[in-house]
């Protein structure tokens, strides 16, 4: 049962958030949370239409106009978009409009990124930029002309004198009839004498990072994300400040036009197709997106959208979704709108990546190398389908620089494979009860004083016998990509260390059945299985052991190179930095780290122990094959779906053994996509980019 109390409370809350977002440029909740409130409000309103009042946030487009700037009445309402949270929503939208107009069945769709920036309305008279405004409440915006003039992507002049072909003039008087049909692909590009277009001003991610670095260096307040930075930069009172901000823009709509012959047109200006409109705008000198595509069917548009969901980081700027638009603008116009949302387009939202939650505590972890890393303990929150309880805070300097306090409301980002991290505190949401965090002066695991090295941000526990470091070391040593000893989970590792049975990784190989049986939770079978797994790991190839040693900067690829180059640990131990640097891909830092690792007495001891327990693999046939002549040498592969015989690890090893490389995401540089059953969206991406596709059989043939 929904109560009127909840309804009123929601309205009030949403209106307050609107004000913070649009007027103050200082939101305290993320877009997802805002959307959730709005969905709830809409739900209540659909159940109780009689409750809806004119002050409901659903009854107007977004913002209240601030009094900082002069007001501008838009020549036509600046509309918003309805959201689709997934393919089912998009199909439901299609069904709704198909019922209203059966031409939709034959319609094309143009798909564009939904840029997460600030919507602007630009006015051109006789080809000259005369006024620019924010969207405001959709009816009235703020005059930010002077600020917009500083944005280089905005043309100050567009060509008007150019064509002798006046035939388009006739089109413009009868666009409604033309709109159902394909427009000719070339238009005479002379624009009308008064043209109003709409675009999105934003910052590229790299520029955003640079701007924040600069602001921080000058001791100024940094921005939480590129959208806030764009909004804050545009709504400066001094255009001189805006001019120092690396803003850019993409244009996607004609809002209004007028010609001598047509003073108050309620009709489209050709082209009447969104796809061709983008080209037309581009021809006039406006920046338009280069990732828009036009499709003959909704399903294709949806799969293209999903491709970008996965590849959104390749856009170079923040997009919170893709907009699927009926390509026929005449048809779209005729379909009209619901509230502030035109029926002819839908925003297909990507799962959110930024959410706010409460920072409950900061814990400190001790890494394999003794580095102390602060870890945020969060009030559980869902981000993109995953419940997040922890996030990284990078290092202690970061906490201090961002002034992150325990108890703060914080903005958390979780993107792709990256570990969730805290962007910063929402300082406006502070109650005063938050406490400043003081980094520990002793190691939380062994209690010894921590140390700090000149020129490094990290703090270290330098106690070589610190149990926390040993746990991390062992965890890494037995992990799948290293020695792959299954059945040796963290709990067992901790027990083995706690009772002093294991003081380094080599001790694993001398643990006996009796010792295991004495541990908590061990019975015969479990002990035997573990002993077999430990014994079998001795057969792991040299590259796996090199990974397992955990030398700074030596991951999978470098370990493979070292194994091939040296063939044995005996040879690797004797090497010099100069020799290492002669190997392709090895720089001075990695070379120094390797030499340093082998020079340490503790590590030399460890190596001697490993040799004595019989863990001393030597590269045999692999050492002899020159990888340059290997059949897959120089080729990069991406694998998606389940292959008939090879596992994920198996296919990777197979490709690498033949000299090929395996990467995670499809790009133009990918040589082949290896396709199995139930592939993910990498398949669509490969299709979109024209990357050749192989099945397992094809891969084997290619490898000879
Ligand atoms: S079309 C009638 N296209 O998204 C036209 N909007 O929630 C409606 N946006 O405020 C807008 N990129 O500022 C459209 N390629 C794009 C867009 C886009 C970003 C913004 C726009 C609007 C919001 C809608």
CATH of the domain at 146: 3.30.470.30
The answer as to whether 604 is a domain residue is yes
Domain boundary among 291, 325, 349: 349
Residue 580 and residue 659 share a domain: no
At residue 306, the pLDDT reads: 92
At residue 64, the pLDDT reads: 55
Q: Which residue in the list 11, 108, 114, 349 is annotated as catalytic?
A: 114
Looking up residue 543, the CATH number of its domain turns out to be 1.10.150.20
Q: Which residues contact 584 (CB under 8 A, 6 or more apart)?
A: 561
Residue 531 and residue 592 share a domain: yes
Residue 655 and residue 586 share a domain: no
At residue 217, the pLDDT reads: 87
Nearest-CA residue for ligand 1 atom 5 is 79
Determine whether the shortest distance from the Cβ of 134 to ligand 1 is under 6 A: no
Q: Which residue has the tokens 């877009």?
A: 31
Domain boundary among 580, 612, 644: 612
Residue 412 and residue 392 share a domain: yes
Determine whether the shortest distance from the Cβ of 273 to ligand 1 is under 6 A: no
Determine whether the shortest distance from the Cβ of 252 to ligand 1 is under 6 A: yes
23-32, 211-220, 338-347: range with lowest mean pLDDT? 23-32
Distance CA 130, CA 383 (A): 43
From the list 254, 278, 273, the residue with the least C-alpha distance to 329 is: 273
Instruction: Report helix angle 601-612 to 588-599, nearest 10.
Output: 70
The answer as to whether 386 is a domain residue is yes
Residue 690 and residue 590 share a domain: no
**Rounded distance from Cα 223 to ligand 1 centre (Å):** 22
pLDDT tens column, 333-379: 999 999 889 999 999 999 888 999 999 999 999 988 889 999 999 99
The answer as to whether 208 is a domain residue is yes
At residue 172, the pLDDT reads: 36
Residue 554 and residue 535 share a domain: yes
Residue 362 and residue 343 share a domain: no
Nearest-atom number in ligand 1 for the CA of 80 is 24
Distance CA 492, CA 517 (A): 12
Segments of 116-187 assigned E as strands: 118-125, 128-134, 140-142
Strand order, beta sheet including 194-202: 128-134, 118-125, 194-202, 248-258
Nearest-CA residue for ligand 1 atom 6 is 114
From the list 198, 173, 47, the residue with the least C-alpha distance to 118 is: 198
Residue 222 phi, psi dihedral angles, 5° rounding: -90, 165
Residue 364 and residue 335 share a domain: no
At residue 615, the pLDDT reads: 93
Rg (the chain; Cα; Å): 31
Looking up residue 369, the CATH number of its domain turns out to be 2.40.50.140
Residue 374 and residue 326 share a domain: no
Which helix or strand (DSSP H or E) is residue 146 part of?
helix 145-148
Residue 664 and residue 543 share a domain: no
The answer as to whether 244 is a domain residue is yes
**Rounded distance from Cα 526 to ligand 1 centre (Å):** 59
Looking up residue 24, the CATH number of its domain turns out to be 1.10.287.610
The answer as to whether 275 is a domain residue is yes
Residue 558 and residue 639 share a domain: no
pLDDT tens column, 370-422: 899 999 999 999 888 889 999 999 999 999 989 999 999 999 999 877 789 99
Q: Is position 114 annotated as part of the catalytic site?
A: yes
Provide the residue range defining the domain that includes 265: 71-164+171-349
Q: Name the domain count of the chain.
A: 5
The answer as to whether 573 is a domain residue is yes
Cβ-count burial 475-496 (b if 16+ within 10 Å, e if not): bbbbeeebbbbeebeeebbbbb
Nearest-CA residue for ligand 1 atom 21 is 119
Return the percent helix, strand and coil in the chain, to nearest 5: 40, 20, 40
From the list 474, 475, 468, the residue with the least C-alpha distance to 505 is: 474
* Contact in structure between 121 and 135 (CB atoms under 8 Å): yes
124-133, 186-195, 426-435, 492-501: range with lowest mean pLDDT? 186-195
The answer as to whether 444 is a domain residue is no
Determine whether the shortest distance from the Cβ of 323 to ligand 1 is under 6 A: yes
Most confident option among 115-119, 175-179, 257-261:
115-119
pLDDT tens column, 97-123: 999 999 999 999 999 999 999 999 999
Residue 114 and residue 246 share a domain: yes
**Predicted TM-score of the model (pTM):** 0.65
From the list 230, 233, 332, the residue with the least C-alpha distance to 277 is: 332
DSSP 635-693: -EEEEESB-SS--HHHHHHHHHHTT-EE-SS--TT--EEEE-BS--THHHHHHHHT--E
């Amino acid at each position: 049962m929904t109560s009127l109390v909840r309804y009123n409370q929601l309205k009030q809350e949403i209106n307050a958030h609107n004000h913070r977002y649009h007027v103050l440029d200082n939101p305290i909740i993320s877009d997802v949370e805002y959307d959730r409130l709005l969905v709830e409000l809409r739900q209540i309103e659909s159940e109780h239409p009689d409750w809806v009042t004119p002050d409901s946030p659903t009854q107007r487009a977004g913002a209240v106009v601030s009094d900082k700037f002069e007001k501008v009445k838009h020549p036509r309402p600046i509309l918003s978009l309805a959201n689709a949270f997934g393919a089912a929503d998009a199909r439901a939208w299609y069904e709704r409009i198909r019922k209203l107009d059966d031409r939709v069945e034959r319609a094309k769709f143009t798909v564009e990124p939904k840029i997460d920036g600030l919507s602007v309305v630009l006015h051109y008279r006789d080809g000259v930029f005369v006024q620019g405004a924010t969207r405001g409440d959709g009816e009235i915006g703020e005059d930010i002309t002077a600020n917009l003039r500083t944005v280089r992507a905005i043309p100050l002049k567009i060509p008007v004198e150019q064509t002798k072909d006046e035939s388009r003039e006739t089109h413009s008087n009868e666009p409604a009839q033309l709109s159902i049909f394909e427009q000719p692909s070339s238009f005479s590009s002379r624009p009308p004498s008064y043209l109003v277009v709409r675009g999105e001003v934003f910052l590229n991610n790299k520029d955003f990072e640079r701007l924040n670095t600069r602001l921080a260096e000058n001791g100024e307040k940094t921005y939480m994300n590129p959208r806030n930075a764009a909004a804050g930069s545009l709504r400066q009172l001094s255009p001189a400040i805006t001019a120092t901000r690396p803003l850019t823009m993409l244009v996607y709509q004609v809002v209004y036009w007028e010609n001598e012959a047509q003073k108050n047109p309620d009709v489209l200006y050709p082209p009447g197709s969104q796809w061709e409109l983008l080209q037309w705008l581009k021809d006039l000198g406006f920046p338009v997106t280069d990732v828009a595509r036009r499709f003959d069917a909704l399903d294709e548009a949806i799969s293209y959208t999903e491709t970008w969901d996965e590849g959104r980081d390749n856009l170079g700027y923040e997009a919170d979704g893709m907009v699927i638009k009926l390509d026929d603008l005449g048809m779209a116009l005729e379909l009209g709108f619901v509230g502030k949302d035109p029926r002819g387009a839908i925003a297909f939202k990507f799962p959110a990546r930024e959410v706010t939650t409460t920072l409950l505590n900061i814990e400190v972890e001790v890494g394999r190398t003794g580095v102390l890393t602060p870890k945020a303990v969060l009030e559980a929150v869902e981000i993109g389908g995953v419940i997040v309880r922890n996030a990284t805070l990078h290092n202690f300097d970061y906490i201090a620089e961002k002034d992150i306090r325990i108890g703060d409301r914080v903005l958390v980002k979780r993107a792709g494979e990256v570990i969730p991290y805290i962007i910063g505190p929402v300082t406006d949401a502070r109650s005063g009860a938050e406490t400043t965090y003081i980094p520990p002066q002793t190691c939380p695991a062994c209690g010894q004083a921590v140390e700090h090295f000149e020129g490094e941000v990290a703090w270290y526990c330098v106690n070589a016998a610190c149990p926390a470091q040993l746990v991390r070391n062992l965890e890494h040593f037995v992990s799948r990509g290293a020695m792959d000893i299954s059945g040796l989970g963290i709990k067992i590792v901790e027990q083995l260390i706690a009772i002093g049975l294991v003081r380094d990784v080599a001790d694993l190989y001398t643990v006996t059945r009796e010792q295991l049986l004495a541990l908590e939770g061990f019975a015969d079978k479990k002990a035997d299985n573990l002993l077999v797994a430990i014994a079998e790991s001795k057969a792991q190839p040299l590259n796996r052991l090199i990974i397992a040693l955990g030398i700074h900067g030596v991951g999978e690829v470098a370990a493979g190179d070292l194994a091939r180059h040296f063939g044995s640990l005996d040879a690797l131990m004797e090497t010099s930095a100069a020799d290492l640097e002669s190997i392709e891909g090895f720089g001075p830092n990695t070379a120094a780290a390797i030499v340093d690792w082998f020079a340490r007495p503790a590590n030399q001891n460890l190596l001697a122990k490993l040799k004595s327990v019989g863990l001393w693999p030597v590269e045999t046939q692999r050492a002899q094959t020159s990888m340059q002549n290997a059949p897959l040498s120089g080729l990069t592969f991406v694998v998606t779906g389940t292959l008939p015989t090879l596992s994920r690890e198996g296919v990777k090893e197979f490709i690498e053994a033949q000299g090929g490389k395996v990467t995670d995401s499809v790009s133009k540089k990918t040589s082949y996509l290896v396709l199995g059953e139930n592939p993910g969206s990498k398949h669509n991406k490969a299709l979109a980019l024209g990357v050749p596709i192989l099945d397992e059989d094809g891969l084997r043939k290619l490898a000879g």
